[in-house]
Structure 1
Amino acid sequence: MSRETSLFSGRPSELVGQQIAGYRIEQEIGRGGMAVVYRARDLRLERTVALKLLAPELARNDTFRRRFTHESRAAAAIDHPHIVPVFEAGETDGVLYIAMRFVAGSDLRHLLDREGPLPPATAVRVAAQVASALDAAHEHGLVHRDVKPGNILVSRGTDSDHPEHVYLTDFGLTKKSLSLTGFTTVGQFVGTLDYVAPEQISGKPVDARCDVYGFACVVFEILAGHPPFLRDDDMALLWAHQYDDPPPLTESRPGLPPRMDPVFAKALAKNPDDRYPSCLTFVAALRAATAGGGAGAGPAPARMGRPPGEEAPKPPPRWAEPVFVERT
């Protein structure tokens, strides 16, 4: 039908200006294989929202619709400063939709592409906000399964000590729902290859430790400028996640303290039992390694490129005042 074509054909959307479920669509701001996200106007409350419209074939699956309703409500019930609030989820005219807070800013993918690797203090500050969001979701029984820079939004912070405010998004469309309904074929998984945990690839049951692995891949990229595994094709990348040891972070960024390498080795362990039990535990270990804490390490200040006793530099101004652009 024409609605399916306009949503997922890859050409400019025909929905701009139309009303769906009480929202007037203003501009497309992002799309993937299963959903398109628009900036829209809530005509009832006169506010701007991010409106995600799911692929029409998902709405035709009864099992998915039921699970979508259940898990969207679970996501909406999480009141956390670093999780994008879900205002409403439902179905209209055969289309499933989720209305969320519109975050003015950019996503981490865009910022990393623009800025490159971030200073360690900035990386830890950003990572701590994402980790708190993930752990809060885990406490509510939700596993994200697709932690990646594109699902981490960055908006302006409150002051110079908090130059950015980070949000985790994409909880409304859970990957477990897709696999259970047959939307993905047997043996497949939903996720992004650069950040996918070994147990996801092998089809084993996953829990919060799957997000610890994916999150660690993202933090590795924040610091190194690239994900931990770089391979020429998808099959080689899948193999690396399952069987290859992660490279030391300091190979890509020699100025960082060597004590950070074992922190990532633990977070990226192939066996979930060998990883950190939570994302905040991982960040705490990373912060200690970055600050010079922990045993068996040399003096961190010299390795960080400043004399002992000198105050750590402030984050770069361009990061402290991010350029606000529409996400694409």
Structure 2
Amino acid sequence: MSLVGRPTSKDVAHEAGVSQSTVSLVLGGKWRGRVSPATAHSVRGAAERLGYRPNQAARNLRLGTTRTVLLMVPTLTAPFFGPVYTGAARVAARHGFGVVVSTWPDDAAGPADSPFAAPDEAIDGILASSMAVETLGRFRETPAVMLDSGPAARSGGSVAAAGVPTVDFGVPTVDFGVADGMRAIAGHLTGLGHRRIGHVAAAVDQWTFHARAGALAAAVAALPGGRLTRSTCAIDVTSAKEAAGRLLDGPDRPTALVCDDDLIAAGAYKAARARGLDVPSDLSVTGFDDVLLAIALEPELTTVRLPAEELGAQGMTALLDLLAGGRPAPRVLPGELIVRDSTAAPAAGTG
């Protein structure tokens, strides 16, 4: 048979000598008990000879799905979120889904705006990273999984690290063990002999940063002679340099700075060097996330590695389970303390 353009199911039906409905049953995997094995074999052979591929968009339209997932992240400029997308897209592709990305503003106090005119018709599900469940807004009827957004999405109690009440929204969650990560940093520094610790904290109202702050404060409070000071900043080098400088210029200068993010740590380095302080001889500095910047800094940065790609993969796995009618259990991915050259014992007489 000579065909012009892309072969259709009608062409396959003609080639196999069957009806179009039979082709649809066979290629849709619904032929058993309705079509003989010999006919099914004939249809598949005809489709292969003609190079026929089903129109997935039309099939999805008939099924009432788009096989598209929306990944919502705070920003596309932070290096952390690239691996989150990579992990989600990898799992999605194995199941015939695509992933589109949209940002929501860091200071969103109300529901997030939709990038679609009719969100419920454009996507099948949502992966929402680092945001409060309340900001889902117009997507509240769409199946969703919250990433690195805290137990507030599923808990009817309270989040101890944040100290604020939560509402039970029943949204599945995949979180990082950020509190344990911060406790690991505190244990590392206090093990080196540090007692005066400064926290260069992200001025971002997100669960992950509340959890980090709460864990660090509790760890230092439990330490005999421990003293914690805090200065907040935006997640950028200039703001972090200013915040770290305020701590270093204050009375009883900290011997270690704990930074909420590796980019913030870069600002702390600049603040230290502007004051003639050596890292780590005069001042230890730690970060959080372990993005590529951590090993670009000199000295290389002690930080907590968060498995960002695995967060995306686990989140997509949970969302696919939810779309299939399951009830995904909450998951927590542990971080790993990576000790490099930016931390050392405090100088004699300063600890």
TM tier, smaller: under 0.3
Structure number with bigger Rg: 2
TM-score by length of 2: 0.24
TM-score by length of 1: 0.25
